[in-house]
A and B are shown apart, each in its own frame.
Chain A
């Protein structure tokens, strides 16, 4: 597959991944564009073409961190984070709002899993965490989202 074909296949998910890193549409587009320029130059040196998809996502991640000038978001305990719960005004919010309320360290592996279709082991490799820690983040992220979203969905389901 040529680099152009590869980009056409994955551009949408790369943009969405960048969006969930940056939480900003313009920055997401800029990050993907710069990442793909770097990717195009490095593509001839990519030996394992079967891993091209995870390679592209990794380049986007590195470009985002480079643009930001900082290290990867660290996963703190969700208990200690400024995450809204049922007692606050975000009670029963829509899923996208709940995702926006989720710290980047938790939203990122979710985006890689759901959008990219990557396994826990692949995500762990991409974000520089252990497989166990990655699975914990994914589980906690879903638990937090359920806390926020479920009340409205349940209420809606009963009517």
Chain B
């Protein structure tokens, strides 16, 4: 280590290595350089630390929740406004919706224990019925796994939205029309038609289930 090496490395801002320190302690010129450097770095840091808007961190930590709430509320409004059923939606106990609730109560834990399939595989297999990108616009996708359901293969999806967790059963080979609904033991389920197949949505809050249903069809 010589003075040129010392000063060159110091200017890169990477800090002082042990070898550099040994040199500095034996060199008055580089000691002066080091003192100038530390003062300069302090001024540089203070200059880079521009004032941050008040409450910025808190707002940013919850920005996704605020945005999702607006989106889901708009989707729910659109679903109701589109005449998808209103209160009549709740009036019937649809067998497929009931089966979706039963799946959550009896099979969901086992599916999660068995582990999720890779995202790329899920993306390819769900593309025709429910693109994974659409799910990711609605919430965080926590789990996807194929499973036997209603005599065919469905895809069990666990989705976290700002209001909590919902379970989806994507059924590529079960076409249907409109929206069906069921309530059982504190759980609510809706089954909605997709372009190819259908999707069952199960959650503890009917409003959230409706919102997700609206978002999927929006």
Residues on A facing B (Cβ under 8 Å): 3-5, 7-8, 11-12, 14-16, 19-20, 25, 29, 32-33, 36-37, 40-45, 94-96, 98-99, 110-111, 113-115, 119-120, 135, 138-139, 142-143, 145-146, 149, 153
What separation, in Å, do the CA atoms of A95 and B13 have in the docked complex?
A: 16
Given contacts A41-B140, A94-B47, A142-B11, contact A33 B63 (CB under 8 A): yes
User: Which partner residue on chain B sits nearest A17 by CB separation?
Assistant: B48
**B136 interface hit (Cβ, 8 Å):** yes
By the criterion CB–CB under 8 Å, are A11 and B12 in contact?
Answer: no
Q: B185 within 8 Å of A by Cβ? A: no
In Å, the complex CA distance between A40 and B160 comes to 11
Chain B interface residue count, Cβ-Cβ cutoff 8 angstroms: 33
- Closest chain B CB from A102 CB (angstroms): 11
Given contacts A95-B47, A120-B14, A139-B11, 6 further A-B contacts (CB under 8 A): A19-B50, A37-B63, A37-B64, A110-B48, A145-B40, A149-B43
With known contacts A44-B140, A95-B43, A113–B13 Cβ distance under 8 A: yes
Contact (Cβ within 8 A) A15 B56 = yes
Q: Are A11 and B60 in touch, CB under 8 angstroms?
A: yes
B48 near A114 with CB under 8 A, answer yes
Interface positions, chain B 17-60, Cβ under 8 Å from A, are 39-41, 43-50, 52-53, 56-58, 60
Please determine whether A110 and B44 come into contact, CB atoms closer than 8 angstroms: yes
Assess whether B45 is in contact with A114, with CB atoms less than 8 Å apart.
yes
Q: Would you call B12 and A20 a contact (CB within 8 A)?
A: no
Tell me if B140 and A16 are in contact (CB < 8 A): no
**A108 CA to B45 CA in the complex, in Å?**
13
